[in-house]
Structure 1
Amino acid sequence: MTIDEILIAARQCLGTPFRHQGRLVGVGLDCAGVAVHIARVIGVEYVDVQGYGRTPANGQLAQSLDSQPCLEIVPAISGRRPGDLLLMRMARDPQHLAVLTDRETILHAYESAGHCCEHRLDRSWRARIVRVYHFRGVS
C-alpha cells in the first residue's frame, strides 16, 4: 500500500456528516470511523472498537490504537508523514484522531464542524498531537 492510497481512502470521507460511532461514508462518521474506513479500503486488519463514550478517558483511545495490528507508533511526533494517524488531546485525555494529509493539513470527522473536513494544521492543532501512528507496510 502507498501513502496515496491512504489519502484517497481518507478523502472519500470528506463531507460526510459527523455521527458519534458512525461508520458509513456519506451517512455518518466520527474520527475513529475515518480510520476504520481507511483500513477497510486499503485492506489491512483493524479491530473496530465500538461502544465508547463521546469523550474517551483513561487512555482508552490510545490503548485501542496501540493494539491495532496494522499500526505502529512513531517514536517522535516530528517523524510524522502524510498518511499517518494523529492521536490528539482535545481536553484532558487524548480523545480524537486525524489523518495527516500533507505536512500542513489534516483530515478528520470533527463534531464542531459537523462533518468530515480537511484543513490547515495550525499551531493550535499541532499542539494537540500526543502520538503518531504509521500504517505498517506503507511504501
Structure 2
Amino acid sequence: MTTRDQFVGEARTWLDTPWQHQGRLKGLACDCVGLVLETARALGLIDFDFTNYERRPDGVSLREHCNRLMHPIPVAEAGPADVLLFAWNNSPVHLAIVTGPETIIHAFAINRRVIEHRIDERWRAQIAAAYHIAGVE
C-alpha cells in the first residue's frame, strides 16, 4: 500500500517540471495526465499509459479514461492523493492531484509548468468529478 502522504510527496517531486503535451519525464516535460500517471507509476500503482488524446483532451474520452482507471468518489470526499477532473466550458479536460484540504498540484499549460496552489472559488466551480487511485490508503 501507498500512503496519501507518499503519493503527494511523489507528485511534489514534479514541481516546476515544464508543461508539454503528453510529456512523461520528471524535470523535463509533463502534462496534467502525465503527472497523475507517472506519480502512480513511480509508486508501483499502475503499469499502463494512455496518450490517445489531443492537446485539449475531449472531455468525454478523458472522463471515460478516469472512470475506467480510477474509482469515482463524491467531490466532497476528495482528500490528499485523490484526483480532481476539471471542466472548462462544461467539458472535462484537466486533471489535478489534491495535496491538502484546499490545495492541488497539476501541470498547467497556462503556467507552462507543474504548480501547486490553493483551490479558490473559481477553481472549485470547475470541478466536474473526483477519483481515488487503487492502492492509496
Question: Could you tell me the TM-score, scaled by structure 2's length?
Answer: 0.94
Count matched residues: 136
Give how far 1:43 is off. 0.6
What RMSD in Å do the two structures reach over aligned CA positions? 1.2
Question: Which aligned runs of 4 or more in structure 1 are off by greater than 6 angstroms?
Answer: none
Aligned to 2:61: 60
Does structure 2 retain, via aligned residues, the 8 Å contact 1:107–1:116?
yes
Contact 1:56 1:93 survives alignment (8 Å): no
Looking at structure 2, the residues matched to 114 and 17 of structure 1 have their Cα atoms a distance apart, in angstroms, of: 6
For 1:28-107, list aligned pairs within 5 A. 28-68=29-69, 71-74=70-73, 76-107=74-105
Deviations 1:70-110 (A, max 9, x none): x2110x21111111000110223100000010011110000
| Correspondent of 2:124 among 123, 126, 131 | 126
**Contact in 2 for aligned 1:9/1:37 (Cα 8 Å):** no
SS of 2:132's equivalent in the other structure is strand
- Displacement of 1:115 in angstroms is 0.3
Determine the C-alpha separation between the residues in 1 that align with 2:20 and 2:136: 29
Query: Residues 85 and 100 of structure 1 are in contact (CA less than 8 Å); yes or no, is this contact kept in structure 2?
Result: yes
- Looking at structure 2, the residues matched to 135 and 58 of structure 1 have their Cα atoms a distance apart, in angstroms, of 20
Question: Which moves more between the two structures, 95-104 or 57-66?
Answer: 57-66
Query: Any gaps of 5 or more consecutive residues in structure 2?
Result: none
Unmatched segments (≥5 aa) in structure 1: none
